[in-house]
Amino acid sequence: MQIRDLPYADPGVPDVRSGTRFLIWLGRGQLRGQILSLLWGMVHHLGIAGLPLGVGFAVQAVVDRDGGRLALAGGLIALLGAALALGDTMLHRTAVTNWITAAARVQQLLARKTAELGSVLTRRVAAGEIVAVSTGDVEKIGWFVEALSRFAAAALTLVLVCVGLVVYEPALGVVVAVGVPVLALAVLPLLPRATRRADVQREKAGRATELASDTVAGLRVLRGIGGEELFLGRYRAASQEVRRAAVRSARMWALISAIQVLLPGVLLIVVVVYGARLALDGRISVGELVTVYSAVALTRYPLRHFEEIAMAFSFSRPSARRAARVLSLERTSTARGTAVPDGGDLYDPVTGVLAPAGRLTAVVCGDPDAAGRLAERLGGHPAEPAEGHTSVLLGGVPLDELELDAARAAVLVQDKDPVLLSGTLAELLDVPSSGAVRAEEALAAAQCADVLDALAQASVDTDGDPMRTRITERGRSLSGGQRQRLALARSLVTDPGVLVLDEPTSAVDAHTESRVAAGVARLREGRTTVVLASSPLLLDLADRVVLVHEGQAVAVGTHRELLRTEPRYRAVVTREPDDDPLPLGREAIPAVREEIEETA
C-alpha cells in the first residue's frame, strides 16, 4: 500500500476483541509494507554491522604495510557506506509509509463507524473519548505498527552479528554471543511495571482530554450558569494527575534507558580487556580485535530498538484498546439486503406513532429528551441498545432489515442541534439528493432570505454571491436561528422519502416560524414528513397530530380537535394546567397566522 493510494477502498473488518488483537490485525493488514521495511532495515543494519569488518581489514593492512589490502578495505567500506545510506533512506520511506497507512486505516474505520452509528455514537461514548481516539491514539497506534518491522530487522541483525563473530573469532565471539542476549533481555523484568505506568498515564490523559473537550463544547452553557471556574478546577486537577503519572512513567523509562546504556558499556569493557590479553598472547591480531570491538560498539544502535518497541507497545496498547472499544459498537441491526419500499406508512411499534405516507404528521411529546429518542428511532437509530429489538416499519418493512445506505436514503432525521460543516453555502447544500428540489426552493421554504443577505454582506471576495461565501466551522458566525434554517434547507434539498424534523423552528420567532412551517408544508406536499414540535403555529398546519404521553401515543387528531378534547395535549402545547377548559391564546392562532400571511 502506497500513500498515494489512500484512502483505502475498503479498510476491512477489524479484530476488536482486544487492543492487542487489533494491533496484530493492523500489522497483518500491512504485510507487504512490513516485509519491505524489514528487508530495507536489514540492508541498513547490516551496512552498519559490516563497517567494523572493513575497518579491521584496513587496520590490519596498515599494520602489515599491505597497500593492496588497504585499497580493498577502502572499497569495502565505501560499498558498505552506500548500502547503509540506501538502506537508511528506504527504511525511513517504508517505515513512514507504514505509519501513515496504519493511521489512515484506523481513521477510516473510525469515520465509517461514526457514519454508521450517527448521533447514537455520542450517547454510548463520550465525545471527548472519540476526539482522543481519532487524534492522539491514532498516532500511537501508527507508531507501533511502524516500529515493528524496524525492531524485527534489528533483532535479526543482532543474531547475524553474533553468529558472524563466533565464526570470525570464536574466542571473543562467544563472549559477545552470550552478552548480547543478556543486554536485550535485561530490561524485561522492568517492562510490566513500565507498561502499567504507561497505561495509567494514557488513561488519565484520555480522561483529561475528554473533560477538556466536553468543557469546550459546553462553554456557552457554563458561562451562563457561572460554572467556568468549577470546570477549570476539575481540569486543573485532572491535568496534575496526568503530570504525576507522566513523571512516574518517565522515571521507569529513564531507568530502562540507563540500563540500555550501562550494560553495553560493561560488555565493551569486557571485550576490550579480554581481547587485549588475547592480542598480547598472539592468539588474535590487532585487526581482529578492532573488528570485534567495533562490532560490539555498534550493537548499541540495534539494541535501542528493543527499548523503542517496548515503549511503542506500552503506549499503543491502551490507545488500541480505546479504538477497539469504539469500533466494537454495533448498529442494532439485522440487515438482510431487503428492498427499499416505494412509499408506505412509517410506524413505530414501541410508541404506536403512525405517520401516513404522503402526509405531514406532527408529534407532540411533553419530554424533549423523549422526543429526541423517538426521532432517532424513526430514523432507524435506537438511542438505547435495548430498544433495537423492535424496529420501526416503513411500508411494513423493518428499517433494521435494510442496508445502512438504503435506510439512510429512505429516512432522513434532522435533530434539534444540527451541525454545519465549514465551507461555502453551495458546498453545504451539495448533498446527495433526488434532484427534485432546487437549492433556491429549499432556501425560500426555510425562510433564509435574511441569511443570504448577511452572507452577501460578509463576503469580500465573492462579488456579493452568498452561495460562494464561506461558513465558519459549525456556523459560529451565524445566529442560532440562521443555523437552524440553513440546516433545514439542507434537509429539504435532500428530499428523502421520509423526513423527520426534531424541533426545526425552536430558535426562530413566531412570524418566521409560521412562514417556515408553511414553506415546509408546501415543499413537502405529497411526501411523508414527521415534525416533533410543540409550537401551535406549526401544529396547526399538520395534517394530523399525535400526542405521545409516557412513551405511548395516546391521542390522534388535528391540532384544534386535540386542543378542544385532550387536556394533556393542551397542557403541553399551551403550557397551562390540564383543567383549564379554554387555554388563553388558542383562538388567537388563526388571527396571528392571517396577520403573518398578510405581512409576507
In 3D space, the residue among 544, 540, 543 whose CA is nearest the CA of residue 590 turns out to be: 540
**Cα–Cα distances in Å, from 542 out to 87, 211, 285, 378, 576?**
72, 42, 100, 18, 22
Residues 6+ apart with CB under 8 A from 157: 41, 42, 45, 46, 48, 49, 302
pLDDT value at position 537? 87
Cα–Cα dist 351/375, whole Å: 11
The reported pLDDT for the residue numbered 592 is: 39
Q: Which of 20, 48, 302, 64 is nearest to 180 (CA)?
A: 302
Read off the C-alpha cell for 319: 490507545
Task: Give burial (CB, 10 Å; 0-12/13-18/19+) of 510.
Answer: middle
Residue 310: which of 273, 272, 257, 233 has the closest Cα? 257
Helices (H), 281-396: 286-298, 300-327, 368-378
Cell of 6: 489512500
- For residue 403, what pLDDT is reported? 76
Sheet holding 360-365, edge to edge: 411-414, 498-502, 528-532, 360-365, 544-549, 552-557
Residue 462: φ, ψ to 5°:
-125, 15
The whole-number pLDDT of residue 273 equals 87
Q: Which residue has the cell 484512502?
A: 7
**Residue 360 phi/psi, 5° resolution?**
-95, 115
DSSP 492-503: HHH--SEEEEES
Q: pTM to 2 decimals?
A: 0.65
Give the DSSP H or E segment for 398: strand 397-398
Mean pLDDT by 10 residues, the chain (600 residues): 75 89 88 90 84 79 83 87 89 89 90 77 69 80 88 88 84 84 81 81 76 64 61 81 89 85 84 85 80 78 82 83 86 60 84 92 88 85 55 85 78 83 84 86 90 77 76 72 90 91 88 91 92 91 92 92 91 69 42 42
Cis (ω within 30 of 0) for the bond into 7?
A: yes
- Report the DSSP beta bridge partners of residue 471: 423
Judge contact between 456 and 465, C-beta under 8 A.
Answer: yes
DSSP tag of 434 = -
Cα gap 22→27, rounded to integer Å: 9
Contacts of 299 (CB under 8 A, 6+ apart): 158, 161, 176, 180, 183, 264
The CA dihedral of 285, 286, 287, 290, to the nearest 10 degrees, is 130
Place of cell 410543540: 534
How many angstroms separate the CA atoms of 586 and 583, rounded?
6
CB count, 10 Å around CB of 425? 26
Residue 216's pLDDT is 62
Rounded to an integer, what distance in angstroms lies between the CA atom of residue 469 and that of residue 480? 18
- Distance between CA atoms of 177 and 480, rounded to whole angstroms? 72
* Residue 118 neighbours by CB under 8 Å, 6+ apart: 376, 379, 381
- DSSP-based three-state secondary structure for 552: strand
Q: Are strands 498-502 and 411-414 parallel, antiparallel or unpaired?
A: parallel
- Parallel, antiparallel, or unpaired: how do β-strands 393-394 and 544-549 relate? unpaired
